[in-house]
Structures are given as C-alpha cells and as structure tokens.
Structure 1
C-alpha cells in the first residue's frame, strides 16, 4: 500500500487546522507555507474535504479554512475515503467475483487479513491523535 501525496497533503492540512481548532480560520497561504504544499493544490484538497463536511471556509480578510468537525471525529480512514474513494489492497478482496481463483486463493486470505488490520488502524487513528503525537515529538526534539 502506498499513501498518495494527495492523502499526505490532506492529512497535513487537517492537522494544521486542528492545531488552531476553535480559533480563527487559517488561510491556505499559511498552511501551504508551513507544510510546503503547493497552494493551488491545497485549495483543491480543502474544497474536496469541504464537500464531504470535514472543512469549512470563510471568505474575506479574516477568511480561510477551519475544521467542520472536532479533530477527534475525523479519522484517517475518513480522509482517505474522502480524497481517494474506497479501495482495497487488491480488487478481489472487495469484489471476489473479479477473479476465478477467489474461493481457492490462499494469497487472497493473507491480503484480506492485512487489509483488515490496515483499515482498523485507519478508522481508529484521528486527526486529534496525530496532533497530540506531533506535539510530543516537537517537545522531545527541543530537548
């Protein structure tokens, strides 16, 4: 499994918004500068995340983006699905009919188990978890 830049940038942007959660809206310029994300691409990602209810935007001089949900309510699984749609490691995991060997394939069982573990981690890890861990790592690196 390879995490796309789209997901990486999307998660980084949401973590950035979560760090200021409840405060002012954050401009895409600020996020792009701090996270080294191309601003035009970041705008597209944040609009996509807004369409699924993860971010909200405000126009004007004090405008920008904010989280539309609590950081604890946004899982990595939600972010991936929002940006890339549903996808299994192998097509035969989610669509067994696509392969004539699905019912007798030992390899499919292994990949299915891997998929279950990955999905469990993605569903249980939230943006709030990443913010907390990032703060821990920053504190350690300052010592």
Structure 2
C-alpha cells in the first residue's frame, strides 16, 4: 500500500520549489535538476498542475513555470487527489458491492476510521504550511550545504535547509534575512565566522 505515489511526491516537491520563489518563473529543467525529478516526467506533472490552475507557464527567455495560487491555499490533499484520487487503505470488496460480512466486519470499521483520519490530516496541510516548516527547520538548524535552492531532493539532502550565501553565511529560504551558519556567529553583519 502506497499512501503517496511518485507523481504526487514530485508534484508537491515542484510546488514547494515554486512556492519558495514567490511567483517567479523558473524553467522546468531547473526544477527537475534541483529536485532530482526526471525532466519529461516533471513536464507531464506541471502540465496537469497547470490544467488545475495551480501553476502557469510562459515561453521565451524570461519564461518558465510559476506557482499561480497562494501556497497557503494549495492543500496537499488537493494535489494528492489530482494524481491518485482519494486515499483508500484497503481494496476490500465493500467498496465495490455489498459484502455479506459487512455488518459484522470490525476491520472494515477500523479501516474506514483510519482513512477518514488520514484524509482529514492531509486536508489540513498546505504547501504554505510546509514552506513555513522548511523555513523553521532552516532557522533551527542554522546551516545548510545545498547550494542555490536549499531544497534539493525535497529539502532534505543531508537533513539541512536554507540557502548558502557567500557574503552572509546562510540566508532563509525566502531569500531574506541572514542567519548564522553552523560554524559560528556572524561578525560585523558580513557573514564572517567567529
């Protein structure tokens, strides 16, 4: 049983990547490279997200893909249902027809209860909330080594988050505000380590 398919995982990672860039156009190739997603696979995912109004694209040298809605309004459950439908933990016969043991099936009752709980929890999580969680982890960790995006491979490469800045040390995911790197405190506001 898979709760999340690769399509859903890649879609969420792409939306997080785009959401961190606050409406900037980013090439699909850049997203694919940064997130370790096969390019052609990502293009199909972005096309589907575009049909649903979650992202938009434009062609040209200043083109690419951008997030279209406020990340706080994009629920993980919405993305999940686009790519795989509602989460169902069991393919028990009661879904297709009336089961002869339906009234006495304790397992059915528990499965339905767990499915409802899982769907409710996914309904509470938004792309915006996850971006906030990444920023909080970034600030708590105080360091990262992930290059430009700080979100390579879903933001979890080496368990670190943030954006390395040669002048500053480590910058928050939204590009604003310098935080000390893990080597020490900033000195004179220039990111020099103590």
TM norm structure 2: 0.67
Contact 1:93 1:108 survives alignment (8 Å):
no
Q: What is the alpha-carbon distance in structure 1 between the residues aligned to residue 130 and residue 28 of structure 2?
A: 20
Question: 1:41 maps to which residue?
Answer: 41
Instruction: Report the CA distance between 1:95 and its aligned residue.
Output: 2.6
Question: 1:72 maps to which residue?
Answer: 72
1:63 correspondence with 2:66: no
- RMSD of aligned alpha carbons: 1.9
- Provide structure 2 residue ranges, at least 5 long, that are not aligned to the other structure: 144-181, 183-194
Instruction: Report the CA distance between 1:12 and its aligned residue.
Output: 0.4
Q: What is the alpha-carbon distance in structure 2 between the residues aligned to residue 30 and residue 47 of structure 1?
A: 16
Instruction: Report the CA distance between 1:96 and its aligned residue.
Output: 6.4
Structure ranking higher in helix proportion: 1
**Structure with more relative contact order (C-alpha pairs < 8 Å, separation 6 or more):** 1
* Structure 1 ranges of 4+ moved more than 4 A: none
Question: 1:4 maps to which residue?
Answer: 5
Q: What is the alpha-carbon distance in structure 2 between the residues aligned to residue 89 and residue 130 of structure 1?
A: 24
1:108 correspondence with 2:114: no
Q: What is the alpha-carbon distance in structure 1 between the residues aligned to residue 21 and residue 80 of structure 2?
A: 22
How many residues of Structure 1 are paired with residues of Structure 2 in the alignment? 142
Q: What is the alpha-carbon distance in structure 1 between the residues aligned to residue 67 and residue 115 of structure 2?
A: 28
Contact 1:26 1:66 survives alignment (8 Å):
yes
Which of structures 1 and 2 has the bigger CA Rg?
Answer: 2
- Provide structure 1 residue ranges, at least 5 long, that are not aligned to the other structure: none
98 and 29 in structure 1: CA distance in 2 versus 1, 3 angstrom threshold: farther
Structure ranking higher in strand proportion: 2
Superposition pairs for residues 58-137 of structure 1, below 5 Å?
Answer: 58-92=58-92, 95=95, 97-137=97-137
Q: SS at the partner of 2:66?
A: strand
